[in-house]
């Protein structure tokens, strides 16, 4: 059993979890992510807290990024709090637990005349005015939906189309929940601080620090059959404390956590049609077990034993129909809507797993393929744990650059100057490069609306910003620099850059696709077929990372009147704010435009042939959207070359692709 546990531990580390350092750097990345965005003006509306398994360091297939947004202009207090001790600048609420289910509270409004209040949120009760969670959710789903989506999506990386689901703004890989902060813990949770822990798994300092963190209140009532009783309640959430406690676990506990989540998502949910078992119940079980077991037991040779202990505890809770909340033990987390037959079936399934757990674990798709392929599980040559943790995340979890404002830029610079951690400096520098990239691509046209002296200074600034952006990846910054030269009629300089760029667009790069992140196994396989990486983190970004698309920002309406046809040729879909296309397509199309500007017919003809080859043979344009855009650029190039027959053929291809093309690229 010990040998089996050790092999399982190695396999999970290699394919699912990563090393202890990789987990640490993922957590650090999302911590910096929060700090960057908790900056005005965003922090004046809300504070962002990344939560869930990703913030805890696990990046597993199919899991979402969970974000809790605390509404900054609201504050909740205990019911008996003196008016002298409340912050009247905020919309004040008082928590009432007496008429609520365990783990829930009702919120009484202190002053209805505060400007933050909206009439649809308020419910008139016998003793005053309630902030109704159900009415707040209905308001979100109603006429304010578009406003909320625009406001709250502005501070997070865009991950596909968003919708409102209950209290959350949800997409296929991002869940954002609203909440209200309360600095005081409920009385029902206070025994947690003095609870006897035989092995002292948490330090006294860590436990007392949680009192300062407070709690969050989420607009979800207790889900029971009696909807009329609980629809005004708010759920008490200990998200911040849970994240702190899990960050204190050792690596074996994290691997056990990953085993349980994998078993849940890839085995239990396939066998059980009900959604009784959730990731939160798995997390709660491990929190209880971690408190009760000797920390020495959590070692690689005991991994499977610990896994079985958690499965047996889950089985026990389901069997007796009571699943105690970790912080409020008298709160039963089993849904009251679950049928007796469903609970019995789940209990029997958990008993079966406790007997045949290893067999079922290895049948999970995330592991079964790895066993068959017998992959080399080492980190690719030249990549550190820091690189291995961050490089697969750069397309999905960096913010959309259009939301990187001046305050964020200044904060990044301050942190780079004063931080003592090299890793933190690198992460803040990553966000700074992202911010400068946005400025570089959004101010390309400013030299057209200023006088000659200012125009020269603007050109120098744009060149500086583009050169800074070369730290983002192998090609983006250079394309920005070529665009600066082209827009300012410096065609020879633009061509010098563009002739060099095809050497950078090679297939032995870390390819970052549209809004996706590679899992560990896929990332390792990709790296093993490529070059050996040398240098620090940003040298690897400059030479080894390449995005599958480049975004060009369309000029603002007030600038359009100053522009000539040379600029309009860049935008094949004028109605869109950003034009997204593969880098190879844009490079060769820019070459065509530069040769048109210099009146060199032979160079233009060669550039058109290179563009044709890039559009027809490049693997990057296999996505229908990218093929659609690429053929539109090729059609424009033929029109500029007065090759009408070929332009017509491209036009036909554009028409065919348009039938299968959405407004945005699909996930490649």
Positions of the chain with pLDDT lower than 70, given as ranges: 142-173, 223-229, 368-382, 395-404, 445-454, 507-508, 510-534, 556-564, 572-577, 579, 618-622, 660-668
Tokens of 603: 């160079």
CB 291 within 8 A of CB 309: no
Neighbour count for residue 306 (Cβ, 10 Å): 23
**Given this model, what pLDDT does residue 14 score?**
86
DSSP 144: T
Residue pair 357/259 in contact by the 8 Å Cβ criterion:
no
pTM reported for the whole predicted model: 0.85
**634 burial class (0-12, 13-18, 19+ CB within 10 angstroms)?**
buried
CB atoms near residue 71 (< 10 Å): 17
Of 361, 435, 347, whose CA–CA distance to 398 is shortest?
A: 435
Cβ atoms within 10 Å, residue 206: 14
CA angle 194, 99, 186 (to 5 degrees): 25
Cα 333 to Cα 649: distance, rounded to the nearest angstrom: 62
Contact (CB, 8 A) for 308 and 352: no
Enter the tokens of residue 436: 């400068």
Q: What H or E segment, with its residue span, contains residue 45?
A: helix 42-45
Helix (H) or strand (E) holding 174: strand 174-182
Rounded to 5°, angle at Cα 663 from 657 and 665:
75
Residue 171: which of 180, 162, 183, 179 has the closest Cα?
162
Nearest to 323 by CA among 362, 282, 290: 282
Question: How many Cβ atoms are within 10 Å of 261's Cβ, its own excluded?
Answer: 20
Residue owning tokens 């027809």: 616
What stretches of 411-482 adopt beta strand conformation (E)? Answer: none
- The answer to whether 258 and 370 are in contact (CB under 8 A) is no
d(CA 448, CA 563): 7
Residue 661 is predicted with a pLDDT of 58
The helix (run of H) or strand (run of E) holding residue 640 is: helix 624-640
pLDDT for the residue 154: 44
Residues in the chain: 668
Domain segments of the chain as ranges: 1-38+251-375, 73-248
Neighbouring-strand partners of residue 123: 130
Q: What is the DSSP letter of 656?
A: H
251-263 helix and 303-319 helix, angle to the nearest 10 degrees = 50
Is residue 621 within 8 A of residue 615, CB to CB? The reply is yes
Query: Any idea what the Cα angle at residue 528 is, between residues 524 and 532, rounded to 5°?
Result: 115
Q: Supply the DSSP string of 91-139, one letter for each residue.
A: EEEEEE-TTS-TTEEEEEES-TTSTT--GGGEEEETTEEEE-HHHHHHH
The pLDDT assigned to 148 comes to 52
* Residue 545 to residue 557: CA distance in whole angstroms: 34
Residue 296 burial by Cβ neighbours in a 10 Å radius (0-12, 13-18, 19+): exposed
1-38+251-375 to CATH, choices 3.40.50.2000, 3.40.50.720, 1.10.1410.40, 1.20.1440.130: 1.10.1410.40
Q: Give phi and psi for 650, each to the nearest 5.
A: -65, -35
What's residue 226's pLDDT? 46
Q: Are strands 545-547 and 510-512 parallel, antiparallel or unpaired?
A: parallel
Which tens digits make up the pLDDT trace of 273-330? Answer: 778 899 999 999 999 999 999 999 999 999 999 999 999 999 999 999 999 999 999 9
Q: For CA atoms 359, 338, 217, 399, give the dihedral sign.
A: positive
Q: How far apart are CA 556 and CA 448, in angstroms?
A: 12
Q: How far is CA 268 from the centre of its chain?
A: 26
């Amino acid at each position: 059993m010990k040998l089996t546990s050790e092999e399982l531990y190695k396999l999970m580390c290699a394919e699912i979890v990563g090393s202890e350092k990789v987990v640490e750097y993922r957590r650090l990345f999302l911590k910096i992510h929060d700090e960057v965005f908790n900056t005005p003006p965003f922090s004046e509306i809300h504070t962002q807290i990344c939560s869930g398994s990703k913030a805890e360091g696990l990046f597993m297939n199919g899991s979402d990024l969970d974000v809790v947004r605390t509404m900054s202009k609201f504050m909740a207090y205990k019911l008996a709090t003196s008016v002298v001790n409340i912050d009247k600048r905020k919309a004040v609420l008082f928590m009432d637990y007496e008429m609520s289910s365990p783990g829930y509270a009702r919120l009484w409004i202190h002053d209805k005349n505060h400007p933050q209040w909206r009439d649809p949120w308020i419910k008139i009760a016998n003793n005053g005015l309630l902030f109704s969670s159900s009415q707040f959710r209905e308001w979100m789903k109603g006429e304010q939906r578009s406003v909320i989506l625009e406001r709250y999506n502005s501070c997070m990386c865009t991950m596909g189309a968003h919708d409102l689901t209950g209290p959350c703004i949800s997409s296929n890989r991002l869940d954002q929940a609203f909440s209200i902060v309360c600095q005081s813990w409920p009385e029902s949770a206070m025994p947690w601080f003095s609870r006897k822990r035989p092995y002292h798994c948490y330090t006294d300092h860590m436990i007392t620090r949680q009192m300062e963190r407070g709690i969050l209140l989420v607009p979800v009532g207790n889900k029971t059959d009696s909807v009329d009783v609980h629809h005004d309640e708010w759920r008490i959430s200990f998200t911040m404390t849970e994240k702190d406690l899990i960050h204190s676990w050792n690596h074996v506990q994290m691997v056990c956590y990953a085993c349980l989540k994998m078993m849940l998502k890839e085995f239990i949910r396939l066998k059980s049609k009900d959604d009784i078992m959730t990731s939160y119940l798995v997390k709660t079980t491990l929190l209880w077990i971690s408190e009760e077991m000797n920390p020495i037991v959590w070692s690689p040779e005991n991994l499977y034993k610990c896994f079985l202990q958690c499965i047996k505890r889950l089985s026990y809770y389901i069997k007796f129909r009571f699943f105690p909340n970790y912080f409020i033990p008298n709160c039963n987390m089993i849904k009251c809507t679950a049928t007796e037959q469903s609970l019995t079936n789940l209990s029997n399934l958990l008993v079966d797993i406790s007997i045949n757990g290893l067999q079922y674990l290895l049948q999970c798709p995330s592991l079964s393929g790895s066993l068959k392929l017998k992959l080399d599980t080492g980190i690719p040559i030249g990549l550190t744990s820091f690189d291995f943790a961050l490089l697969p995340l750069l397309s999905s979890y960096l913010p959309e650059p259009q939301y990187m404002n001046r305050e964020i830029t200044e904060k990044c610079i301050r942190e780079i100057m004063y931080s003592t951690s090299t890793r933190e400096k690198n992460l803040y520098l990553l966000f700074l490069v992202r911010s400068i990239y946005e400025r570089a691509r959004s101010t390309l046209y400013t030299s057209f609306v200023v006088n000659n002296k200012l125009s020269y200074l603007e050109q120098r600034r744009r060149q500086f910003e583009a050169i800074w952006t070369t730290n983002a990846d192998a090609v983006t910054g250079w394309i920005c620099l070529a665009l600066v030269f082209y827009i300012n009629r410096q065609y020879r300089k633009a061509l010098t850059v563009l002739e060099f760029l095809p050497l950078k667009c090679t297939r032995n790069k870390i390819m970052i696709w549209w809004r996706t992140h590679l899992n560990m196994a896929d990332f390792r396989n990709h790296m093993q077929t490529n070059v050996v990486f040398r240098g620090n983190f940003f040298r690897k970004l400059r030479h080894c990372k390449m995005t599958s698309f480049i975004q060009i920002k369309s000029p603002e309406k007030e600038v359009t009147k100053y522009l000539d046809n040379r600029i309009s040729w860049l935008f094949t879909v004028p109605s869109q704010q950003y034009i997204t296309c593969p880098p190879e397509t844009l490079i060769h199309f820019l070459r065509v435009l530069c040769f048109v500007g210099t009146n060199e017919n032979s160079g233009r003809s060669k550039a058109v042939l290179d563009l044709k080859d890039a559009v027809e043979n490049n693997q990057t344009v296999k996505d229908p959207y990218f093929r659609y855009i690429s053929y539109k650029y090729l059609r424009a190039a033929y029109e500029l070359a007065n090759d009408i027959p070929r332009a017509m053929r491209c036009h036909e291809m554009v028409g065919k692709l348009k039938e299968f093309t959405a407004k945005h690229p699909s996930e490649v």
